[in-house]
């Protein structure tokens, strides 16, 4: 019979692994064997036959792995600050005198709580302390939403796990940053993932230098990730017509608003009664509404869209949401962080789209509908009309040539767009 569960939380197919939080680092213990040259931080491999890749089949081996490795992970890390190692040695020595084995779970628990010992003087020299200080600062400055903060946190956690969160902050050196850059840049992740991870790690390192915790790292700006933007893709007018004609139920409301008003699912979900006057929807796009130049745009609704809005609209007024799920909840939730400062996101439109695509395969994701619709807009000052239709903030070269089109021009362009999608 398997012993007490030390392995943490079981994650089945397709991962087949155990997951456990140790001193702020999420460890993952995989049932499979380690592959040649495979290097992953905070990861272990059990090397079990595939028949044992189950919770019950792997629990015994996972328990044994933790008993053998947990104490070494927490104490014998060569990067652990010497003072902390000394305190850990006191704890384990005391445990031994009480008859507690140094490799036992109880000893590991004592070590895991070593920072709670009142006489530990080195808490502020640990990297994890300064990571938490950085997160607190970035969370309170109000310069980023939940999604951006979540991405920042994930990037910094990757960097800290690479260095060792129980390491002294002085371990952040040029050589270690270079090694981290090589690991990230050679990974199989997207260019955007690599760029953002390195950018966020640089911001954290600059913070450590500004706080006089490390020496200046001179190769920060010389190591960069090149991002190659993918080619712009659009649905054709025929493809858009097919989607608009085939969609049913709430999905039909969403895709018509995407095409009519240049919206995406979060935009539709956040529409409020005060934005609708029976003919127009007037709003600032949620993603850019805090920007000083963010335009407030009035979207003329097509007769088909107007009928669907009235069919699905809630009975309310003012700041109440226009569209809710049958259970009374918003279609998209993406506003807050959870208790672990992770992004709380619930996109129920995505499920509607997955069901639709299962029966009606599409060449592109739903997010391309808004841009594809804008691509079909024609008229005087066409570029400016397209930017305003999307409720975007003009930037770069576009800003130099942007002319704010009057409402009459935008209305005519939207009417012509409807004709293009009907023929």
Q: Which two tokens stand for residue 302?
A: 């097509």
| Joined tokens for residue 362 | 């599409």
Instruction: Categorize the per-residue pLDDT at 87 as very low, low, confident or very high, splitting at 50, 70 and 90.
Output: low
Q: Are 231 and 240 in contact (CB under 8 A)?
A: no
CATH number for 237-420: choose from 1.20.1070, 3.30.70, 1.10.3470, 1.10.443: 1.10.443
- Cα separation, 4 vs 104, in Å, equals 12
Helix residue ranges per DSSP H, 76-190: 82-97, 105-112, 127-140, 146-163, 174-185
Q: How far is CA 14 from each of CA 53, 54, 394, rounded to the nearest angstrom?
A: 10, 11, 43
Q: How far is CA 203 from the centre of its chain?
A: 18
- Alpha carbon 150 to chain centroid, angstroms: 6
User: What is the three-class DSSP state of 406?
Assistant: coil
User: Taking CA 200 as the corner, what is the angle to CA 191 and CA 38, rounded to the nearest 5 degrees?
Assistant: 60
Task: List CB contacts of 342: < 8 A, sequence separation 6 or more.
Answer: 150, 153
- Spatial distance between the Cα atoms of 301 and 42, rounded to a whole number of angstroms: 53
Each residue of 316-325: pLDDT tens digit?
888 899 999 9
Are the C-beta atoms of residues 2 and 52 closer than 8 Å to each other? no
pLDDT score, position 1: 38
pLDDT at site 281: 94
More confident residue, 101 or 33: 33
Q: To the nearest 10°, the Cα dihedral for 140, 141, 145, 149?
A: -70
The gap from C-alpha 380 to its chain's centroid, in whole angstroms, comes to 39
- Whether the link from the prior residue into 97 is cis, omega within 30° of 0, is no
Q: Which of 44, 45, 89 is nearest to 71 (CA)?
A: 89
Give the Cα separation of 331 and 349 in Å (integer).
6
Nearest to 128 by CA among 143, 114, 142, 107: 114
Q: How far apart are CA 300 and CA 32, in angstroms?
A: 57
Pair 312, 253: CB distance under 8 Å: yes
pLDDT tens-digit series, residues 116-126: 443 343 456 78
* Higher per-residue confidence, 277 vs 114: 277
- Higher pLDDT among residues 72 and 215, named by residue: 215
Residue ranges of alpha helices (H) inside 186-248 are 191-210, 237-246
Residues across the chain: 423
Q: By C-alpha distance, which of 108, 21, 73 is closest to 8?
A: 21
17-22 β-sheet, strand order: 9-11, 17-22, 25-30, 43-45
Question: What mean pLDDT, rounded, does the chain reach?
Answer: 82
Mean per-residue pLDDT for 303-313?
95
Rounded-to-integer distance, Cα 343 and Cα 326, Å: 24
Return the structure tokens found at 232. 């712009």
Strand partners, 45: 30
pLDDT-based confidence at residue 206 (cuts at 50, 70, 90): very high
Token pair in block for residue 234: 């659009």
**What number is the average pLDDT over the span 27-37?**
87
Whether residue 350 contacts residue 383, with contact meaning beta carbons closer than 8 Å, is answered with: no
Tell me the C-alpha distance between 21 and 51, whole Å. 26
- What local confidence, expressed as pLDDT, does residue 105 receive? 60
- Highest-pLDDT range among 157-171, 325-339, 350-364: 350-364
Cα 107 → chain centroid: 36
H/E element holding 334?
strand 332-337
> Would you state the pLDDT for residue 2?
41
Of 10-14, 132-136, 172-176, 218-222, which gets the smallest average pLDDT? 218-222
DSSP per residue, 7-75? S-EEE-TTT-EEEEEETTEEEEEESSPPPTT---TTEEE----GGG-SHHHHHHHHHHHHHHHHHHHHH
Find out whether 220 and 180 touch, Cβ atoms under 8 Å.
Answer: no
């Amino acid at each position: 019979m398997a012993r007490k569960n030390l392995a943490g939380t079981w994650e089945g197919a397709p991962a087949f692994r155990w997951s456990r939080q140790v001193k702020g680092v999420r460890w993952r213990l995989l049932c499979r064997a380690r592959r040649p040259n495979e290097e992953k931080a905070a990861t272990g491999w059990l090397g079990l036959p595939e028949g044992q890749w189950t919770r019950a089949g792997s629990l015994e081996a996972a328990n044994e792995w933790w008993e053998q490795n947990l104490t070494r992970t927490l104490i014998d890390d060569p990067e652990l600050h010497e003072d902390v190692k000394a305190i850990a040695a006191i704890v384990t020595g005391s445990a031994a005198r009480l008859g507690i084995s140094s490799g036992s779970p109880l000893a590991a628990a004592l070590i895991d709580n070593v920072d709670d010992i009142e006489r530990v003087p080195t808490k502020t020299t640990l990297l994890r302390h300064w990571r938490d200080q950085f997160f607190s600062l970035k969370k309170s400055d109000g310069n980023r939403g939940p999604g951006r903060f979540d991405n920042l946190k994930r990037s910094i956690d990757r960097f800290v796990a690479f260095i060792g969160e129980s390491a002294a902050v002085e371990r952040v050196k040029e050589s270690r940053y270079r090694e981290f850059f090589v690991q990230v840049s050679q990974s199989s992740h997207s260019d955007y993932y690599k760029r953002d991870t390195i950018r966020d790690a640089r911001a954290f390192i600059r913070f450590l230098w500004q706080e006089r915790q490390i020496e200046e790292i001179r190769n920060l700006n010389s190591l960069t990730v090149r991002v190659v933007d993918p080619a712009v893709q659009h649905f054709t007018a025929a493809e858009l017509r097919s989607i608009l004609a085939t969609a049913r139920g709430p999905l039909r409301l969403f895709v018509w608003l995407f095409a009519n008003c240049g919206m995406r699912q979060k935009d539709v979900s956040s529409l409020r009664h005060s934005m609708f006057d029976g003919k127009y929807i007037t709003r600032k796009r949620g993603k850019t509404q805090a920007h000083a130049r963010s335009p407030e745009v009035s979207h003329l609704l097509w007769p088909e869209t107007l009928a669907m809005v009235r069919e699905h609209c809630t009975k309310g007024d003012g700041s109440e949401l226009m569209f809710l799920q049958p259970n009374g909840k918003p279609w998209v939730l993406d506003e807050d962080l959870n208790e672990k400062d992770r992004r709380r996101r619930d996109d129920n439109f995505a499920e509607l789209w997955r069901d639709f695509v299962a029966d009606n395969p599409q060449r592109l994701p739903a997010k391309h509908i808004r841009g594809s619709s804008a691509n079909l807009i024609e008229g005087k000052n066409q570029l400016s009309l397209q930017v305003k239709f999307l409720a975007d903030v003009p930037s770069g070269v576009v800003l130099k040539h942007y002319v704010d089109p009057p409402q009459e021009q935008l209305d005519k362009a939207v009417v012509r767009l409807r004709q293009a999608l009907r023929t």
